[in-house]
Structure 1
Amino acid sequence: MEDYKDTDDDLWNAYLPRISAFSGDAKTGTPYDLWRYEVQCLIKTGHTHETITMAIKTFSCVQMLARKPPTHATTKSTTTTVENRQIQQLTALVKQLSQDVKALKEDRNCDQPSTNIQWSRRDTSWTPYHPDETTIYRPVEQHRRHKQNDFTCWRCRQPGHYAID
């Protein structure tokens, strides 16, 4: 410790030196002689007193936390029976409402045909739009209703007429 000098040169050093933690436990911990030797080596290499102190504190805390059992497994439930009852009532209410919504959707779907109808807005009223294969070629006439098997010629646009080459 005689040749220890406190300088500001080590402030620019961005890392903390790694030191094994001394816990005093002879079985699993680092022996005191080895720990003291590591600290003396850091002093000889020119590290400041603050840097060595921070390294000792940091790595000893990290190793102690690594050995410590998790605290969340031993904590008891903080919810009371009143809160549990309220949670159960709310979940039952959510289940009941979701069943009611499903029943309403099924009733509504039974009244309507099961085709893929998209609704488009024209002027002030809503009109159904049935997509077919001609909408790509005739975007102006996309809102006109056609029969399901009504074919139009791609050249002359006559209904029911096939252009065969």
Structure 2
Amino acid sequence: MPSSPALPKTLEDSVLHQIQNGQALIVNARRRNGVVLCKPYHTEFAGPGSLIGGSLDTDCEKLIAVGKLSILNPTSGDDYHRACLIRRQWVILMYKMTSHEDPLDRARLLLNQFDNYFSEADMVNLSTEILSQLVGVFPSTFMESRHLLNSPDS
């Protein structure tokens, strides 16, 4: 990493720089938005109301916005605590999805969850590779699950 990085070009780059430096931020709970946090060995999703940054995400290598990203600074200890609890709930939700043995089920559960919460336009930045990493399946498995969900027989 260069010693003096260039100024961030986008909101995602700016937020990534802040969380890599340990700043705690909150994904705005009043909007349908979230972030995918790409780390060296796994990928996480932090939805509305979640805390990002602090000591949790200093190893984040890439940040992908879901929806129109809106980030807030915690204004009190209560804000920080509430955002930690909400992040925990998102982690638990993702854990429940990934605990299914069948990879097609894991992919289907993520697709259903995201399709019910986000619009197609909100998910434009999410590649099949990123979505598959969220639930630990191969991209081809994820595409197969998407095809099965969209087929007229299902």
Q: Highest Rg: 1 or 2? A: 1
- Greater RCO (CA < 8 Å, at least 6 residues apart): 2
Q: TM-score, normalised by structure 1?
A: 0.20
TM-score w.r.t. structure 2 length? 0.22
